[in-house]
Structure 1
Amino acid sequence: MEAGTHKEIALTRAIVVFLAVAVLIVIAGFTVGELYFWGKHAEENPVDLDIKYMTELVAKSPDDKNLVELGWLYYRKGDYQRAVEVLSRAVKLNRLNPAAHFNLGLTYQEIKLLDKAEAEFIKTLELDPESKYAYFALGKLYFSQEKWDEAAEQFKLASQKDPVSVENFFWLGQAYEKQGFRKEALAAYRKALDRVPNHTQAREAYYRLKQ
């Protein structure tokens, strides 16, 4: 084999080794950087990151929609006081925003200001009579106050707006059962099971009441 050929082979090997080492360095650097980035942010709650982003957005554009989103994030975090403050600002900016009233109602309910929660849910329905969530939330509110008849009425309306939801019929059955309306309760539980056959609570309630 000629000397020139040996040199070419040696040079080729050197280039291959160099490229392999370079690739390993790049991969190692990327991995370390990736671990640093994710390690740095792993301790931060995703909701906190969203709150930080929305707070900056609200500072630039403080409209009612952005405030509703920020208020909802505080609600999800469990910071109900801040949620009330932000959602109240949204309502002041636009009293015709049903989402602002609804989320404010949910927040009031969490901090046991039930009269205020009721008022916000009712206002939501005045602005958006098709809001299945507001009917259901109002039903749950009345149920928690042992206002069985009012609760049943709201769950019935919720089931009319959303006839697919198993929860509407399950809670309608609960409200009927609390009033001693066995036949109506069984029918509601049966409808819940027609929609979700393995709904544990509806199944237990149905067969318990059917005995």
Structure 2
Amino acid sequence: MKLKSQLKSLFVQPLSSMILSMITAIAISPSALAVTGKVSPHLPEQVQQSQKIAQFSGTDQPERSRLLQQANALYNQRDFKGAEENLRKFLKKFPKDAFGHFQLGNALFRQSKPEAAISSYQEAIRLNSKYALAYNAIGVVYASQDRWEEAITEYRKSLEINPDYGDALTNLGQALWQTNKRDEAKASLEKALNIFKAQSRNEKVYQVEQILQQMKTLDDPSVS
């Protein structure tokens, strides 16, 4: 129980200030989202990635870009209800926008509406079957409810699309550890660590190193 609490606390991080800059950031932030005290490992970073996608794709659609920026501004101000309302207006105009549904899921998740969030993420996937961020986000929702096996399934789907998705690997490692798959959990985290090092994402490197150290301590209490 102690390790579980420590692992969760490691991922409760503030959302990125970037507008749709990434869900690691999050949109799901590569920072983690905390809902009702439970972990949402890397939602924030996902948001950041998504934010970048929105920015690039909006260059030829000024209205789309403007509406998304408004919603994301509210999201980053932690006005999740306001963000939800703006995203629903956005989706009335752009109902087939996968990112819009994905970000709506993030806003709903932050309001402790897990089932509604999952539905939004699933709609994003229906519109874009290769949406690795959305699969990871669903896994985060399940993890926040301690539904570890279901979370593992979603993280694996995300990694089938992008095997080098460091945040999904980190989340998968945490979920595997919770289901007593310790060797596999460490392998997933070590792969994530190498990816983050290669990407020079020092904050993520530190987080994963801390998790691995805690796991090592649990396996061998003599290790300080």
Band the TM-score falls in, shorter-chain normalisation: 0.5 to 0.7
The answer to whether structure 1 residue 204 and structure 2 residue 213 are counterparts is yes
Take 2:76 and 2:184, find their aligned partners in 1: how far apart are those partners? 35
Post-superposition, which runs of at least 4 consecutive aligned residues in structure 1 deviate over 6 A? none
Equivalent residue number for residue 168 of structure 1: 168
Equivalent residue number for residue 91 of structure 1: 91
Go from structure 1 to structure 2 and tell me whether the alpha carbon gap of 1:46 and 1:178 turns closer, same or farther (over 3 Å shift). Answer: closer
The answer to whether structure 1 residue 151 and structure 2 residue 151 are counterparts is yes
Take 1:46 and 1:193, find their aligned partners in 2: how far apart are those partners? 24
Contact 2:18/2:76, CA 8 A, preserved across alignment? no
Take 1:142 and 1:75, find their aligned partners in 2: how far apart are those partners? 22
User: TM-score scaled to structure 2, two decimals?
Assistant: 0.61
Q: Deviations over 1:62-113 (max 9, x none)?
A: 9444322211111011111211111001111121101110111100011111
Structure 1 window deviating more from structure 2 (200-209 vs 117-126): it is 200-209
Equivalent residue number for residue 140 of structure 1: 140
Take 1:62 and 1:191, find their aligned partners in 2: how far apart are those partners? 39
User: TM-score scaled to structure 1, two decimals?
Assistant: 0.64
The residue correspondences of 1:18-33 to structure 2 (distance < 5 A) are: none
1:83 partner SS: helix
Equivalent residue number for residue 115 of structure 1: 115
1:176 partner SS: helix
Give the letter for the 2:172 counterpart: L
Take 2:77 and 2:184, find their aligned partners in 1: how far apart are those partners? 38
Unaligned segments of structure 2, at least 5 residues = 1-16, 20-60, 198-204
1:78 partner SS: coil
Q: CA deviation at 1:149?
A: 0.8
Take 2:116 and 2:62, find their aligned partners in 1: how far apart are those partners? 25
Larger radius of gyration: 1
Unaligned segments of structure 1, at least 5 residues = 1-44, 48-60
Task: Number of aligned residue pairs: give it.
Answer: 154
Contact 1:190/1:206, CA 8 A, preserved across alignment? no
Q: CA deviation at 1:207?
A: 2.5
Take 1:72 and 1:162, find their aligned partners in 2: how far apart are those partners? 25
Equivalent residue number for residue 40 of structure 2: none
Contact 2:193/2:209, CA 8 A, preserved across alignment? no
CA RMSD across the alignment: 2.6
The answer to whether structure 1 residue 102 and structure 2 residue 102 are counterparts is yes
Q: CA deviation at 1:191?
A: 1.6
Contact 1:193/1:203, CA 8 A, preserved across alignment? no
Take 1:207 and 1:160, find their aligned partners in 2: how far apart are those partners? 28
Structure 1 window deviating more from structure 2 (134-143 vs 187-196): it is 187-196
Q: CA deviation at 1:183?
A: 2.7
- Larger relative contact order (Cα-Cα within 8 Å, sequence gap ≥ 6): 2
Give the letter for the 2:185 counterpart: A
Contact 1:193/1:202, CA 8 A, preserved across alignment? no
